[in-house]
């Protein structure tokens, strides 16, 4: 278990796509500072592989704030999943403030709340992957997915989703044995009901590319046996803002985003989770 400074006000940002603002993160940093948070969590799509480390180093240098990150699909553009995760992990180990959440295990936020996270991946299990007419840029510029026939690509997506599910199945029981509440950070929504896009739930054409069903199954499995405890899931990816109540004790918040205008999604009061 990772224990440290109490994080009562947790700022949350997602899909900030800093490569679309040419490295000028001053507006985002000012917005974060204006809410006086104790820490920050970013649920992926920070930049692209070529500029990701530079953008993270800037946040590290400017914010001086405990910052936990998971990566999104855009963060791997121009490289491979393993290479980017390795580079980000090394950067975070050198940093005073940045932490790559999948490597951090269970993080104590203070009070009776913990933080757990994984990049996740839209795993093709929702909607109709093989019938979908959508071709994400992911499938052209991420080395793990490029140049594959759809059936083989779907196998890769399943593997990435299963990896996230295994991570949560391993860590969440440990977290919930110690804490009443857990905040989960993941890039893609882990449930169909949380795949918000333009004010509504995505259709079967887009759902395969939007949701991580394997992770969702893992979260539900854990929380059904923990009825007196609470889980708050923070995710992004779809750029559509919305809330979904999956179980009485499992709430999912999907953060909205606009390219070129990075901002905060919300400030989470972890004390309210304790009281809730």
pLDDT for 191 beyond 90: yes
Helices assigned H by DSSP within the chain: 26-34, 49-63, 81-94, 138-141, 150-178, 207-210, 213-224, 270-275
Who contacts 254 (Cβ-Cβ below 8 Å, separation ≥6)?
189, 194, 195, 196, 235, 236, 237, 238, 240, 241, 242, 243, 244
Q: What integer is the mean pLDDT of 134-156? A: 97
The residue among 71 and 260 whose pLDDT is bigger is 71
Q: Using the predicted structure, report yes or no on whether residue 37 has a pLDDT greater than 50.
A: yes
Looking at domain 9-275, which CATH architecture does it have? 4-Layer Sandwich (3.60)
**Cα 216–chain centre separation:** 13
pLDDT band at residue 27 using 50, 70 and 90 as cut-offs: confident
pLDDT score recorded for residue 21: 87
Q: How confident is the model at residue 198 (pLDDT cuts 50, 70, 90)?
A: confident
Q: Is 143 exposed, middle or buried (0-12, 13-18, 19+ CB in 10 A)?
A: middle
Going by pLDDT thresholds of 50, 70 and 90, the confidence category of residue 3 is: very low
β-sheet bridge partners, residue 197? 200
Is residue 182's pLDDT more than 70? yes
The confidence band for 2, taking pLDDT boundaries of 50, 70 and 90, is: very low
DSSP structure class, residue 180: S
Report the distance separating Cα 95 and Cα 157, nearest Å: 31
Is 4's pLDDT higher than 70?
A: no
Query: How high is the pLDDT of residue 56?
Result: 95
Q: Which DSSP category does 72 fall into?
A: -
Using DSSP bridges, classify how beta strands 107-110 and 113-118 pair: parallel, antiparallel or unpaired. Answer: antiparallel
Q: So what's the pLDDT on residue 1? A: 42
How would residue 274 be classed by pLDDT, with cut points 50, 70 and 90?
low
Task: Tell me what the mean pLDDT of segment 30-44 comes to.
Answer: 95
* C-alpha to C-alpha distance for 74 and 89, rounded to whole angstroms: 17
Q: What's the farthest any 2 CA atoms get from each other in the chain?
A: 50
pLDDT at 273 exceeding the cut of 60: yes
pLDDT class of 126 with cuts at 50, 70, 90: very high
The pLDDT-based confidence of 23 (bands split at 50, 70, 90) is low
Domain ranges, ordered by start, for the chain? 9-275
Collapsing DSSP to helix, strand or coil, 95 comes out as coil
Distances (CA, A) of 186 to 115, 119, 140, 152, 235: 11, 5, 23, 24, 5
């Amino acid at each position: 278990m990772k224990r440290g400074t109490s994080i009562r006000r947790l700022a949350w940002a997602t899909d900030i796509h800093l490569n679309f603002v040419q490295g000028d993160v001053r507006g985002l940093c000012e917005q974060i500072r204006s809410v006086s948070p104790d820490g920050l969590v970013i649920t992926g799509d920070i930049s692209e592989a070529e500029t990701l480390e530079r953008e993270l180093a800037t946040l590290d240098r400017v914010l001086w704030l405990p910052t936990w990150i998971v990566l999104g699909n855009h963060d791997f553009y121009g490289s491979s999943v393993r290479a980017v995760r390795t580079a980000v992990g090394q950067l975070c180990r050198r940093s005073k403030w940045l932490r790559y959440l999948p490597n951090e295990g269970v993080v104590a936020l203070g009070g009776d709340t913990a933080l757990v996270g994984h990049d996740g991946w839209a795993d093709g299990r929702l909607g109709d992957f093989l019938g979908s007419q959508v071709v994400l840029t992911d499938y052209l510029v991420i080395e793990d997915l490029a140049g594959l026939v759809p059936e083989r690509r779907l196998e890769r997506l399943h593997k990435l989703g299963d990896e996230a599910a295994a991570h949560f199945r391993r860590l969440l029981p440990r977290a919930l044995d110690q804490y009443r509440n857990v905040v989960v950070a993941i890039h893609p929504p882990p449930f169909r009901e949380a795949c918000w896009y333009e004010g509504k739930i995505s259709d079967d054409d887009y759902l395969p590319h939007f949701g991580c069903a394997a992770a969702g199954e893992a979260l539900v499995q854990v929380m059904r046996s923990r009825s007196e405890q609470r889980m708050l899931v923070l995710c992004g990816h779809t750029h559509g803002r919305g809330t979904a109540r999956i179980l009485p004790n499992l709430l999912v918040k999907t953060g909205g985003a606009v390219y070129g205008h990075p901002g905060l999604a919300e400030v989470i009061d972890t004390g309210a989770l304790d009281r809730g």
